[in-house]
Amino acid sequence: AEASGSAPVIDDPEHLRKAIKKGVQENDIVVLNAGASAGTRDYTSNVLAELGKVIVHGVAIKPGKPVILAIIDNTPVIGLPGYPVSAILTMRLFVRNMVYTFMNLDTPKAEMTEALMSRPLASSMGVDEYVRVTLGQVDNALMATPAGKGAGAVMSLVRADGLLTI
């Protein structure tokens, strides 16, 4: 399998339409970075709906809610959120599995461990929340401490030892 990239496209329907059509013709999977939110200047969802079928626009996860999953000419198209942590997380949750499936490979299983939270942690109801954590040994217990907040806090992801799913 070979990955390819293209130059950034301005947030304009005609430019997006042209780039997406080209991407779908030349690739097995198309991943769009940014332009997936519901902002007034985010045209990606409308363009994808014009060219094919939007399967999902928005998922119950945090960070990463505005992800778009679409099909154009039997080619999956994934629109990632623009915030870096959201983009990385949605790549891991959606694109990674799709790529492994296309290559007829089993998706590697995530390593799991048990740890005690260093402090109570609240989460929104009805949303799967992915919390970056750092791990540390305290006496005989492995402790997990939340490592930063915000979908733009890339260093919190870089410094994290793992992801806690709530």
- Give the model's confidence band at 151: pLDDT under 50 very low, under 70 low, under 90 confident, else very high: low
- Residue 103 or residue 36, greater confidence: 103
Identify the pLDDT of residue 150.
61
pLDDT in tens, 103-147: 999 999 989 999 999 988 888 788 888 888 999 999 999 999 988
* Sequence letter at residue 84: P
| 152 pLDDT more than 90 | no
Region 49-62: what's the mean pLDDT? 93
pLDDT in tens, 20-31: 999 999 999 999
Q: Which residues pair with 54 in a beta bridge?
A: 70
- Give the model's confidence band at 36: pLDDT under 50 very low, under 70 low, under 90 confident, else very high: low
| 40 pLDDT more than 60 | no
